[in-house]
Amino acid sequence: MRGLDETAYAEITTDLSERFADTVTPADAADAVARARAELEPQSRHPEFLGLLVAKRATDLLREHISSRGERLHAVPTVLFMCEHGAARSQMAAAVAHEFGGDHLHVRATGRQQAAALDPTAAAVLHERGIDLDRLISAGPLADVVHAPDVLVVMGTDPAGTLAHRRVDWEVPDPHGRPIEEVRAIADEIEDRVRGLLGDLSIPVAPARAGAAGATGTPALTG
| 3.40.30.10, 3.40.50.1100, 3.30.360.10, 3.40.50.2300: CATH of 78-200 | 3.40.50.2300
Q: Which pLDDT band, with edges at 50, 70 and 90, does 197 fall under?
A: very high
Share of the chain above pLDDT 70, in %: 80
Q: Which pLDDT band, with edges at 50, 70 and 90, does 133 fall under?
A: low
The one-letter code for the residue type at 132 is: D
The one-letter code for the residue type at 162 is: T
Cα–Cα nearest to 142, from 164, 126, 122, 123: 164
Cα-based torsion angle of the residue sequence 187, 190, 196, 200 in order, rounded to the nearest 10 degrees = -140
**Structural contact between residues 187 and 129, judged by C-beta atoms closer than 8 angstroms:** yes
Confidence (pLDDT) at 213:
38
Confidence (pLDDT) at 188:
96
Q: Which pLDDT band, with edges at 50, 70 and 90, does 169 fall under?
A: very high
Mean pLDDT computed over 194-200: 94
The one-letter code for the residue type at 50 is: L
Q: Which of 29-38, 153-162, 166-175 has the lowest mean pLDDT?
A: 153-162
**Domain positions in the chain:** 6-68, 78-200
| 41-85 residue pLDDT tens | 888 777 777 888 898 899 889 988 888 887 776 678 889 999 988
Q: In 3-state terms, what secondary structure has residue 108?
A: strand
Which residues, at least 6 apart from 194, have a Cβ–Cβ distance to it below 8 Å?
93, 96, 97, 100
Q: Is pLDDT of 137 > 70?
A: no
Query: How deeply is 54 buried, as exposed, middle or buried, from its count of CB atoms within 10 A (0-12, 13-18, 19+)?
Result: buried
Confidence (pLDDT) at 23:
82
Which residues, at least 6 apart from 46, have a Cβ–Cβ distance to it below 8 Å?
none
Confidence (pLDDT) at 217:
40
| 4-22 residue pLDDT tens | 678 888 988 988 888 787 7
Which residues, at least 6 apart from 125, have a Cβ–Cβ distance to it below 8 Å?
92, 180, 183, 184, 187, 214, 218
Produce one character per residue of 165-174: b if its CB has 16 or more CB atoms within 10 Å, e if not. eeebebebeb
Which strands make up the sheet holding 78-83, listed edge to edge?
106-111, 78-83, 151-154, 166-169
Q: Is pLDDT of 216 > 50?
A: no
Cα–Cα nearest to 3, from 40, 52, 56: 40
Cα–Cα nearest to 119, from 136, 140, 97: 136
- Residues 214 and 223: their CA atoms lie apart, in Å, by 18
Map 118-161 to HEC letters. CCHHHHHHHHHCCCCHHHCCECCCHHHCCCCCCEEEECCCCCCC
Mean pLDDT computed over 164-174: 91
pTM of the entire structure? 0.67
